[in-house]
Amino acid sequence: MIDWRLQCRAIYGRAYPRAIGALREPSWMFFDIFLPLLSISAFIFYYRALGAPAVYEGFVVIGGAMTAFWLSVMWGMATQFYWEKETGNLELYMMAPMSKMSILAGMALGGMFLTSVRAISTIVLGVIIFQVQMQLTSPLLLVFAFIITLIALYGMGMLFSSLYMFWGRGAWHLSNLMQEPIYLVSGFYFPVKQLGFYVAMAASIIPITLGLDSMRQILFGAGANGLLPVVEEIAILCVVAVVFIIAAWYSLRHMEYLGKKEGRLVLRSQ
């Protein structure tokens, strides 16, 4: 029988240091908020120089804000157990009585809080500085699309956390390798539909692809040049979220099984 009180305490225990820890070093908040504006500014000035429609500036602001969540998943979730293994803490996690999903869920919630501060600040400053015009048609639908995107995205991070640990140092190189290509195929700074329908649908396995596209359609209407209708994209995101979470649960169980059977969870030379 699942001890839900224990699981909730584990989630809170892992979320607290991520949500509060960064506030103890205010300089981190400054760099997290203002440095991303530099890359956003470069794309906006480039679009202006080309004479692109003004709506593309809005695409850049929203996409730039969502990069914070992608980086949080890649570096704060997917590689987490690998780094715990490197520092010698993984054995403590494995011996703890709570579910490993609860530990990762706490990390995800804490990461969402801090990353949301950065993302919201980026959007607000981007709208103020560059005078981006948005046409919000359905606030509730926007919030739901945002939440389900985060659930699917962090579910993928949970799945990768167990896979990365067994790949060892290759996890670091894989994260670096995936970072820029994901910016391209997920359409962070342009409508993903421009890649072609089939390429865009293949890229939809990455939750942030449809998440970005649906939020842009809600914020910018017909000018967003969406891939699919918003309702269909959100329905796909719901399915993807469930699939990733279930896959993460089985993957973590298999990770524990191999660790107990083969002793592969302890630090060793590679």
pLDDT in tens, 19-67: 777 667 677 777 777 777 888 888 999 899 988 888 888 899 998 888 8
3-state helix, strand, coil in the chain (%, to 5): 80, 0, 20
Give the phi and the psi of residue 72 in degrees, each rounded to 5: -65, -40
> Is pLDDT above 90 for 72?
no
Burial of residue 126 (number of CB atoms within 10 Å: 0-12, 13-18, 19+) = buried
Cα 111 from Cα 107, distance rounded (Å):
6
Which helix H or strand E contains 252, and what residues bound it?
helix 230-262
Instruction: Tell me what pLDDT residue 49 has.
Output: 92
183 assigned to some structural domain = yes
For residue 52, the enclosing domain spans: 4-12+26-262
The answer to whether 10 touches 103, Cβ cutoff 8 Å, is yes
Place of tokens 């649908």: 201
Ranges 58-62, 72-76, 83-87, 99-103, most confident: 58-62
151 assigned to some structural domain = yes
pLDDT in tens, 122-148: 888 888 888 888 888 888 999 999 999
The answer to whether 131 touches 220, Cβ cutoff 8 Å, is no
17 assigned to some structural domain = no
270 assigned to some structural domain = no
The answer to whether 14 touches 89, Cβ cutoff 8 Å, is no
If one compares 2 and 58, the residue with the highest pLDDT of the two is 58
pLDDT in tens, 165-188: 666 666 667 777 777 888 888 889
Tokens representing 163 are 């896979």
Question: CA torsion sign, 113 to 114 to 119 to 124?
Answer: positive
130 assigned to some structural domain = yes
Taking Cα atoms as reference points, which of 230, 226, 249 lies closest to residue 238? 230
Q: How many domains does the chain have?
A: 1
Instruction: Tell me what pLDDT residue 269 has.
Output: 43
> Which pTM was predicted?
0.84
251 assigned to some structural domain = yes
- In this structure, the number of other CB atoms found within 10 A of the CB of residue 268 comes to 9
Instruction: Label residue 232 by pLDDT band (50, 70, 90).
Output: very high
Instruction: Label residue 259 by pLDDT band (50, 70, 90).
Output: low
Q: What percent of the chain has pLDDT over 70?
A: 90
Cα 193 from Cα 244, distance rounded (Å):
24
Instruction: Tell me what pLDDT residue 163 has.
Output: 74
pLDDT in tens, 200-229: 999 999 999 999 999 999 998 877 888 889
195 assigned to some structural domain = yes
240 assigned to some structural domain = yes
